[in-house]
Chain A
Amino acid sequence: QSALTQPASVSGSPGQSITISCTGTTSDIGAYNYVSWYQQHPGKAPKLMIYDVSDRPSGVSTRFSGSKSGNTASLTISGLQAEDEADYYCSSSATSSTLVFGGGTKLTVL
């Protein structure tokens, strides 16, 4: 169960778009359309932002979108806002029951 690979940090200015990548293997991201993304502000619990690769839960801004190609998933945030500054984690099913997380990406809004 090796962690998925994410960049340690990304940054962007307000109004810009950024993309966070998440690379796995043929055993996790490549095997399942069960990629999810979580936002975590300091000292808070994670919050689900994207599930099933590209679906948004009710209440999550349409500025957040997800995609997948092969063993790599991506989270794109458009129209960057100050409140988007947080840590972001990807996750994938690793078997029919288990999960694996990425190492996390710190998003800085300049």
Chain B
Amino acid sequence: QVQLVESGGGVVQPGKSLRLSCVASGFTFNYYGMHWVRQAPGKGLEWVAIISYDGGDKHYGDSVRGRFTISRDNSKNTLYLQVNSLRAEDTSVYYCARGADGYIDYWGRGTLVSVSS
């Protein structure tokens, strides 16, 4: 079965960086585009970024463009999100998700990033 397991979250000071990881299993990873979606505490879902199946095409949400970088290593079945210049408003659960045509069909359980001094 499809499994997506995120890691790398934690408490970090404003202005610092983190790298989130997502290990995929149960499907052919290099066939699928992958997303990151985040959810601030008590708030709704916010789409963050997408990367194509081969890593050649990437797109970002307006609030993270220029600070976050999505990447993947198909040899390791792993998706990454490099998050730089963190702000308090970046505090969220970050979900890794498998992309289908125009929607997300599977989600991981998420990893919490808390930005606080």
Residues from chain B with a CB closer than 8 A to the CB of A95 are 59
Interface of B is mostly: strand
Q: Which of B65-117 contact A (CB under 8 A)?
A: 95, 100-110
Across chains A and B, the number of contacting residue pairs, with CB separation under 8 Å, is 71
Residues from chain B with a CB closer than 8 A to the CB of A93 are 102
B11 adjacent to chain A (CB < 8 Å): no
CA A40 to CA B45, docked complex, whole Å: 10
A64 adjacent to chain B (CB < 8 Å): no
Do A102 and B44 form a contact, CB below 8 Å, given A45-B107, A46-B95, A47-B107?
yes
CA A100 to CA B29, docked complex, whole Å: 23
The smallest beta-carbon distance between B99 and chain A, in angstroms, is 9
Among B44, B50, B62, B108, point to the contact of A101 (Cβ < 8 A).
Answer: B44
Do A48 and B104 form a contact, CB below 8 Å, given A1-B62, A97-B50?
yes
Residues from chain B with a CB closer than 8 A to the CB of A97 are 33, 50, 52, 57, 59
Q: Mark A78-110, 1 if CB is under 8 A from B, else 0.
A: 000000000001011101011111111000000
B54 adjacent to chain A (CB < 8 Å): no
The smallest beta-carbon distance between A18 and chain B, in angstroms, is 19
Do B103 and A51 touch (CB < 8 A)?
yes
Query: How many A residues face the partner with a CB closer than 8 A?
Result: 28
CA A45 to CA B106, docked complex, whole Å: 9
CA A77 to CA B30, docked complex, whole Å: 35
Pick out which of these stretches binds chain B: A19-27, A30-38, A67-75: A30-38
Do A57 and B50 touch (CB < 8 A)?
no
CA A19 to CA B71, docked complex, whole Å: 38
Interface residues of B (CB under 8 A from A): 33, 35, 37, 44-47, 50, 52, 57, 59, 61-62, 95, 100-110
Q: What are 6 sample pairs from A and B whose C-beta atoms fall under 8 A apart?
A: A38-B45, A45-B107, A46-B45, A97-B57, A103-B44, A104-B44
* Closest CB pairs A-B (n = 3): A34-B102, A36-B103, A104-B44
